[in-house]
Structure 1
Amino acid sequence: MNKPKLIFLCTGNSARSQMAEGLMRHHSGDIFEVYSAGLKAEGINPHAIEVMNEIGIDISTQKSKNITEYLNKINFDILITVCANADRNCPIIPGIKEKIHWGFEDPAAFQGSEGMQLANFREVRDFINTRIQNWLKINRPLYEK
């Protein structure tokens, strides 16, 4: 049986969607095929890699991708937008069975010292982590075989 395909969509696929991809893979095990993309690809923010490493999740090999790279190639079951811009401007993705919006602050837009920026990335990472874990508590039984 094919695993459901889940994609996180953000504006630049540099921080929130990248962290969500890594966290969902970590917490869901082998239940989903997990992807992330952006309305444009801006490269992964090094702070996202750093704060994920702090909790033992390596996203350094993930790549920043534009959603158009997947259109008409992968049939996604679940789409989760992680920012308002991506939610408003999401292209039509055929076959999506469930579209969810989880809005998170953009940690890359935070202005402040290096330490303050990292603290903000950690806060957003933790919000995403909690949301994913809570979602899985409810939804895991629906997808486990």
Structure 2
Amino acid sequence: MRARAGLRPAWLVAGFLSVLFSGTVVSANSLLPPVTEYVQARVVEFDEIPSDRRAVLDSFAKDLRSQLAAGKPVRLTFICTHNSRRSHFGQVWAAVAAWHYGVDGVSTFSGGTEATACNPRSVAALRRAGIDIAAAADEPNPHYTVRYADTAPALVCFSKVYDAPENPQTDFFAVMTCTEADQNCPLIHGALARISLPYKDPKAFDGTSEEADRYDERSRQIAREMLYVFSNVAGTLTTPR
């Protein structure tokens, strides 16, 4: 059945349900209250994103819009060396952003060039941002159940290689969150596109007085940029370009 001319795709209509009232973003889908507060604080920070970085994010959003407009799902795999810090931040905040802006058809994953464990400092930073993370079993590579909304499917976060069976094998977007993985993986088999979004590693501050602040800083940056991308995808971007 052919859609009538002038009708917007369902994913775009959903995105337009995110509107501004007195400068406060009202989510198309409700988040947990602490996460809502955190997201609202990040959305007003879009102008902190440097112009060169914004250009990369705009191109990323354009690719996602094209995929969704073609009626195809968006699968995002965030990749870093150990799948312990930045790639998990990317997986979680991209899921939050897509849900917040009502962009359907998005699934997020993460992986590394080797498997270690999701770092407990990353878990602590996400909890400080309001994410509900269930205590995991005491094992070398714990599996964490991550919730950011009452009605959204939970994420299960643990360290794995990027091509592990739990992750998509074809037709996914590979988002490289660290320069090491970007350099060590010249080819990501099965990826529709490769997006280079390197972030500084908070690991350098492990065991120091700055540890929590640096993890929170990286979490904020990644959340801000994922919200920017999905605001763009949903057609609700209000920051000047």
The range that moved more, 89-98 or 126-135, is: 89-98
| Matched residue count | 140
The 3 A distance-change label for structure 1 pair 112 and 132 is: same
The 3 A distance-change label for structure 1 pair 120 and 34 is: same
Structure 1 position 94 matched with structure 2 position 189: yes
Asked whether the 8 Å contact 1:22–1:58 carries over to 2, the reply is no
Larger Rg: 2
Aligned to 1:16: 86
> Percent sequence identity over matched residues?
27
Query: How far is 1:109 from its partner?
Result: 2.3
Query: RMSD of aligned C-alpha atoms?
Result: 2.3
Structure 1 counterpart of 2:219, from 125, 141, 145: 125
Aligned to 1:50: 124
Query: How far is 1:131 from its partner?
Result: 1.2
Distance 2:110 2:205 in 1: 22
Structure 1 position 75 matched with structure 2 position 170: yes
- Deviation digits for residues 86-123 of structure 1 (CA, Å, limit 9, x no counterpart): 1111253333222111111111122552x410110000
Asked whether the 8 Å contact 2:80–2:180 carries over to 1, the reply is yes
Asked whether the 8 Å contact 2:79–2:181 carries over to 1, the reply is yes
3-state SS in 2 of match to 1:66? coil
- Structure 2 unaligned spans of 5+: 1-70, 134-143, 146-156, 236-241
Equivalences for residues 125-144 of structure 1 within 5 A:
125-140=219-234
Query: How far is 1:69 from its partner?
Result: 1.5
Q: TM-score, normalised to structure 1's length? A: 0.84
- Structure 1 unaligned spans of 5+: none
